[in-house]
Structure formats: structure tokens, C-alpha cells
Structure 1
Amino acid sequence: MIELAILIGLQASGKSSFYRRHLAVTHALVSKDLLRNNRRPARRQTQLVTENLTAGRSVAVDNTNVTVELRKELIDLGHSLGATVTGYYLAAKLADCLTRNAERTGKNRVPDVGLFAAVKALVRPAYSEGFDRLFFVGIADGGAFDVRPWVEEEASRG
């Protein structure tokens, strides 16, 4: 199965760590953070996802992906190339993300205003967007990840 994994969550919610621990062996990484010097990162991201899926490689897109519109483009692209589209929602509290972000240095640290803007724009994913599979991902004690199947009623409660 060729998969397009879409990581969804605030900055410093654990998306990159989750990728490294759970997807790096099986999925190529595409992230706009790695395309900072590209004048058109969205176009380049689409190109990299297309190249990998066309070559038969699963891909993980590690961006905040906080809006339905951002995810729709990826979901449509994945389906058009025959991939199973899976969403991983990293459900982290803003306060925890702010704390982890404060520990970052250099270009890895996001201005706090970026986190506030992301939390304001954040729309939780839903199967109605076109996902084939959805998962909640929480950070358990010791930094391990707790991956659970998505349940729509739980998602609407917060």
C-alpha cells in the first residue's frame, strides 16, 4: 500500500518526532521547513509528493496542515495518484507547545505569534474531508506516542 501521511498539529506538537519514530523507515519526508530557501515552497512540496508517490514510495507531509483547505490539496493529490491518505492529528495543548518551542534554538524556534495564529486557524480533521484513515496521536509519559483510531464523537468534544 502506498500511503500519503498528513501530519496535523501545532508547531512543537511532536509531528517531526512522531515522523522520526514511526514513519521514517517507510515514508519519504516532505516538509516546507526543509524548503525555506525555495521561492515557491507549496509548488515544490506538490512536486516532491508527486515524484515519491509516482515512484511507489509512501510520503509523510510534516507541516502544521491546520486548515481544511491545506489538507484538501494534499488529499486530492494523494487520491489522484492512487495513495491511501492517512491523517495523524497530534493533539497537543498550546501551553505544552509553547514550552517545547521555547526550548528550541535558531531557525527551529517559531515566534510565539506563529503558534497563536496556528491555534486560531486550527480545524480538527474529519473523515468527511476525504481521509481514508485518521488517528489521534498523543504524547504519553516519557515522550512515547499514543496512537489511537479516530472517533468522530471524541473529536467534536475536544
Structure 2
Amino acid sequence: MAVELVIFVGVQGSGKTSFYREHFALSHVHVSKDNFPHNRNKARRQRELIEQALQGGQSVVVDNTNSTPDERAEIIALGQAYGARVVGYVFVTPFADSLRRNRDREGKARVPDVALYVTRKRLRPPTADEGFDVMHAVLLTPQDTFEVTPYPYDEA
């Protein structure tokens, strides 16, 4: 199997980390800024971890909100530089469900509701010209299962 760089896109509470655990935990390195909360330069640390994995021939999942094309661009460029297949997963869970899931979290896993609203406002859906090799949409159902479908770049 070719090395993959998987990029998750979605608000907090939309199911990203749960999806990672269910679909990628055994095959891909997990990189999330949540895993190094005290690092002063999270972007640099994220880049280092992605590069380490790709240099070692390991597939990687970048599990952050990745809200804007600028945030995704550097990650995509890294994947391309190492010859990885760049795969995007856009989490389309209804916003009210993400709020509910976040409110059910405990401790540091729970973020203030305002963070979700800020992310939703900043969120720019990926487009075909960003450099993804393939894109998928992920919906977390009310039964806490995931439905994965092709991601529509052109929503008419």
C-alpha cells in the first residue's frame, strides 16, 4: 500500500478522532495539535511529526480542524514532497450534533462552545484545486456510526 497523508477537515466534536480510532489507528500515525497543548509552536511540531512519519514510510492522519486552505496548503505540500497520496476527509456532521458531542466531553477534551462557532465561521470547504488526490465526506449518524461518501467538489 502506498504511503498516505490523510487530512481531516471539520469542527470540534464532528467525530474526527473517533473516526481515526475506528478506521486508521492500526495503520496510520496520529498527528493532532491536541496532543501537544504546551508546545509554543504547534504548527512546527506538527510539521516535524508529519515529516518523521513520511520519511519513515509511515502513513499519517492529521487530526485537526484544518479550517482554511492556508492551513491545509502546507500539509498538502509536505505530502506531495514525500510522494504520499493526499486524502481528505470532510466531516459534515450537523453543527448541533457537534455542539452536543462537545458538551458531553470531560476535562480538557471539552472546548468552550464559542470555539466551535469560531471554527464554523472560519471553515472553508476544500476545493479540487488544493491538491488532494481524493476527497471523502464523513457523516456521523445519530447512532454514532460513520457514513463515508465521495466528497462533492461541485455542489450545484
Give the TM-score range, shorter chain. Answer: over 0.9
SS at 1:86 equivalent:
strand
> 132-141 or 6-15: which moved more?
132-141
Give the residue type in structure 2 aligned to 1:10.
V
Give the residue type in structure 2 aligned to 1:131.
F
Q: What is the alpha-carbon root mean square deviation over aligned residues?
A: 1.0
Structure 2's unaligned 5+ residue stretches are none
Mapped partners of 1:143, 1:92: distance in 2: 11
TM-score (norm 2): 0.96
Deviation at 1:153, TM superposition (A): 2.6
Corresponding residue for residue 143 of structure 2 = 142
Corresponding residue for residue 60 of structure 1 = 61
Deviation at 1:81, TM superposition (A): 1.0
Deviation at 1:20, TM superposition (A): 0.3
Identity %: 46
Give the residue type in structure 1 aligned to 2:122.
A
Mapped partners of 2:89, 2:10: distance in 1: 9
TM-score (norm 1): 0.95
Corresponding residue for residue 132 of structure 1 = 133
Corresponding residue for residue 33 of structure 2 = 32
Task: Tell me the alpha carbon deviations over residues 113-153 of structure 1, each in whole angstroms, 9 at most, x when there is no partner.
Answer: 10010000001112211100100011134211111112223
Corresponding residue for residue 21 of structure 2 = 20
Query: Would you tell me which structure has more helix in proportion to its own residues?
Result: 1
- 1:37-116 equivalences under 5 Å are 37-116=38-117
1:2 aligns with 2:3: yes
SS at 1:43 equivalent:
helix
Task: Tell me the alpha carbon deviations over residues 9-46 of structure 1, each in whole angstroms, 9 at most, x when there is no partner.
Answer: 00000000000001111100000000102121110100
Structure 1's unaligned 5+ residue stretches are none
